[in-house]
Structure 1
Amino acid sequence: MDANADEATDIAREGHRAYERGDYDGASYLYRLYRLAADQGDADAQYNLGTMYAVGLEVEQNDAEAFRWRWLAANQGHAHGQFALGVMYERGCGVERNYAEACRWYRLAADQGHAKAQFNLGVMYVNGCGVEQSDAEAFRLFREAANQGCADAQCNVGAIYAVGLGVEQSDAEACRWYREAADQGHAQAQYNLGVMYEEGCGVEQSDAEACRWYREAADQGHARAQCNLGVMYEEGRGVERNYAEAFRWRRLAADQGHAQAQFNLGVMYMMGCGVEKSDAEACRWYREAADQGHAGAQSNLGIMYEEGRGVGQNYAEAFRLFREAANQGCADAQYNLGVMYAMGRGMEQSDVKAFLLFGMAANQGHAQAQYNLGVMYERGRGVRQDYVKAFLLFEMAANQGHALAQRRLGSV
């Protein structure tokens, strides 16, 4: 190495030390240090200068300049520069998006042991972006990154073991890797570990441990963890039952657009559980979830329109919502739609359609639908009269505690 190169390296190191100290009083001086060293070909300085342009630190943010300096560093074999260049190609920052080029640069960095590059390249293999899709190659790369402590990779390795994607399924291994990432504060891994404890998969079932991990993730704003923690508080599992806390956690998740939490909030407002009863608020949250295709919310909002609770009564809207939910296999909606056809409420009365819809719900174990279907067999409405089938359906409903079915059994 010649004298100029030694000087450039010393300058780059001084700039880097100032950067790490957070000494920005002379940030422009920092830029000059990097620029002087970068112009003399120092790869660290080129990479750091690229970073300053990427984030707009004491220079005007400029993706094209960030790309130029990172490219110079990357072409000298600088692993961080190669990784950063891969990110820019993947996102189309400062250069036209090119997944194949992103993968090429990720691979160069990954081959030098760069954990984040290994992780990102693994994601590209999972999605088949820029490379031929390969779960096996993705797992290999995730595993390499995970062994270096990359929390994202550890979480993904856990998820692969949980479903057995290209490896032998192992809940124990899934938990081991989730825990590695969770202990680093990885919210998704904390949530996943909570699920494993709640379900007793790979670990001894423990609602208390499930709550602990859900809370860790929920405190970081993880919406699914917040929603699940709300369920635990409502049901008193792993924590003392507390409807107000259940409502609080669900509201946090709902405000992030989590459909199940929005539905649950609607139910709490509808029932006055943990919050003052409000049909209008129930409808608002049901609508938020229904607009995302949540079948239960569509069904419940349909009931509100049918009964005129919190909204003006509107059979046509109720019918539309019931049908959307029924088409997703929601038994309650299939039953409610059947009632509308049976009663001719908002549309032409049809025993045949009512019978078909009650049958769909009954086949899913819906007790009221089983009872109604039994009545239709008993009376020959929409179907040939058949007392035996009526009896069997009453018996099914009665076994689920349906009082009218229990009383009806003796009269068939």
Structure 2
Amino acid sequence: MKRLHFYLVPIVIAVAVLVSSGVKNPRLLEVLADAGSSHAAYRLGQHHNDEQDGKTYNPDIALAWFERAAEAGSLDAMHEIGLLHLSGAVDKPSFETGHRFVLTAAEAGHPNAMYTLAFLFEIGMVATRNSSEAERWYLKSLEQGVEEAQIGLYRLHLENQETFGPFKSAKAFKELRKLADKNDAYALLTIGNAHIEGYGVPKNPAKGLALIERAAETMPFAAHFVIAEFHFLGRGEKVEYHKALRHLIMASKHGSPSADLNIGVMYEHGLGVEKDYVKAARYYRKALEQKNLGALTALGILHRNGTGVTQDYDEANRLFHEAADIGLTGGSANVGWMQLHGWGMPVDREKGLVLIETAADEKDYFGTFYMALLLEEGEFVDQDRERALELYRVSADRGNPLARVALRRLGKQI
């Protein structure tokens, strides 16, 4: 056995030399991976995870290679596995799985995983929103040389003055202002949003919008979507759906699946455009093809209601369950709504209410609206119109058009 191990030494050395020399031939990389090279397996994962190469791009094949590399301890591969799940790129994504791999890689010292984990804590995706934890991980990744973490840290301090205090908030604004003066798109978006929301500065929506419009020159994908949201939610003087739609179309042309999802919403509800359920379904499918997982619930609702598509409770439930299994609270809320009414499944009011209440507690777009409906009418729960009004407002702030209709019906200002 010792002689066999000694015999393998030249092979191990050869594998190391070939991989480190930048071998790109997939067949040779497969040979090296089969010989035990975790780096070759990782490189194969990268090969199949390149969206620019339409011939080789296949996230599920990439995932399989990354998993092999991760089993051998590759932190790079663990981080990539996390990103594939969190972005919904693979066939059966799981936010929980994605978070677990990112957390494991970050705790083991992977700089970019630290940055990703910080962002997850900042926005409350999968992990509970925790500004202090987000700061800790941004600082760790910054110490490891991840330059992007600096703007993330500035944004965190600026938008959470109640947690970090006025000094950090003011310093963040000052540094972001310097970057914005150099036309840094991320800084322009962050400073613009600060003026719109009043983070660390007096509210000035017009000034904020002007800064975001500057960002559109170099980052149209994101900036046009933010401008659309500004007009859709009426962050200025009033809601302007036609302007929102125009900017969503521009964002869509630059490849934004989130824009496609929201164009679908506008066609579904007739906002700034004639109501057209067929077009709504088309845009939802387009968004879903581009891995915008929010389109699962949107398309499911069309199937539930039979608008723009054939009414099909089974298909609606399939889409809602898929969204819930991934970790989307909107999926869980809609599963609950179906259980509550026994649409395509046996009635289970207890489970249905739990799912809706849980989603509402997390301020979900759908959960808050469904819970508000139940509380307003006293259906399945004790009537509480004051709480219903609060939840309608939360849902409307999240952009739910039906919640806005409910508020207008109740004579309340949006």
Instruction: State the TM-score, normalized to the length of structure 1.
Output: 0.51
Work out whether residues 157 and 169 of structure 2, in 8 Å CA contact, stay in contact via their aligned partners in 1. no
* Deviation for aligned residue 1:371: 5.4
Work out whether residues 112 and 141 of structure 2, in 8 Å CA contact, stay in contact via their aligned partners in 1. no
| 1:397 and 2:388 are equivalent in the alignment | yes
Against the structure 1 CA distance between its residues 315 and 228, is the aligned structure 2 distance closer, same or farther, given a 3 Å change threshold?
Answer: same
Q: Partner letter of residue 321 of structure 2?
A: R
- Greater shift, 215-224 or 303-312, is seen at 215-224
Aligned to 1:264: 262
| 1:162 and 2:155 are equivalent in the alignment | yes
Picking from 270, 279, 284, the partner of 1:286 is: 284
Q: Aligned to 1:170, what secondary structure does the other structure show?
A: helix
Q: Kindly tell me the number of residue pairs found equivalent between the two proteins.
A: 258
Work out whether residues 303 and 313 of structure 2, in 8 Å CA contact, stay in contact via their aligned partners in 1. yes
The structure with higher relative contact order (CA 8 Å, sep 6+) is: 2
Aligned to 2:198: 200
* Deviation for aligned residue 1:207: 0.5
Per-residue deviation, residues 251-300 of structure 1 (Å, max 9, x unmatched): 22233443432222111111222233321221122234445665653322
Against the structure 1 CA distance between its residues 339 and 241, is the aligned structure 2 distance closer, same or farther, given a 3 Å change threshold?
Answer: closer
Quote the Cα distance in structure 2 between the aligned partners of 1:352 and 1:286.
Answer: 31
Quote the Cα distance in structure 2 between the aligned partners of 1:160 and 1:361.
Answer: 29
Against the structure 1 CA distance between its residues 265 and 161, is the aligned structure 2 distance closer, same or farther, given a 3 Å change threshold?
Answer: same
Per-residue deviation, residues 175-201 of structure 1 (Å, max 9, x unmatched): 222222222222222112112212222
Per-residue deviation, residues 108-143 of structure 1 (Å, max 9, x unmatched): xxxxxxxxxxxxxxxx994389xxx9946946979x
- 5 Å matches for 1:6-405? 126-127=111-112, 135=139, 138=142, 157-163=150-156, 170-238=168-236, 242-290=240-288, 296-326=294-324, 328=327, 330=329, 333-361=331-359, 363=361, 365=368, 366-370=371-375, 374-376=378-380, 390-391=381-382, 393=384, 396-397=387-388
Q: Aligned to 2:182, what secondary structure does the other structure show?
A: coil
Q: Partner letter of residue 267 of structure 2?
A: Y
- Greater shift, 187-196 or 209-218, is seen at 187-196
Against the structure 1 CA distance between its residues 362 and 370, is the aligned structure 2 distance closer, same or farther, given a 3 Å change threshold?
Answer: farther
* Deviation for aligned residue 1:301: 1.6
Quote the Cα distance in structure 2 between the aligned partners of 1:197 and 1:358.
Answer: 34
Work out whether residues 221 and 256 of structure 2, in 8 Å CA contact, stay in contact via their aligned partners in 1. yes
Which has the higher Rg, Structure 1 or Structure 2? 1
Quote the Cα distance in structure 1 between the aligned partners of 2:190 and 2:390.
Answer: 36
* Deviation for aligned residue 1:164: 5.4
Against the structure 1 CA distance between its residues 231 and 156, is the aligned structure 2 distance closer, same or farther, given a 3 Å change threshold?
Answer: same
Q: Partner letter of residue 177 of structure 1?
A: E
- Greater shift, 276-285 or 209-218, is seen at 276-285
Unaligned residue ranges in structure 2 (runs of 5+): 1-20, 23-45, 48-108, 115-136, 159-163, 393-402, 407-414
Quote the Cα distance in structure 1 between the aligned partners of 2:234 and 2:355.
Answer: 36
* Deviation for aligned residue 1:336: 3.6
Q: Aligned to 2:192, what secondary structure does the other structure show?
A: helix
Q: Partner letter of residue 307 of structure 2?
A: R
Work out whether residues 341 and 354 of structure 1, in 8 Å CA contact, stay in contact via their aligned partners in 2. yes
Per-residue deviation, residues 188-238 of structure 1 (Å, max 9, x unmatched): 221121122122223222101110111011132332221111122234434
Quote the Cα distance in structure 1 between the aligned partners of 2:255 and 2:151.
Answer: 26
Instruction: State the TM-score, normalized to the length of structure 2.
Output: 0.50
CA RMSD in angstroms, aligned pairs only: 4.4
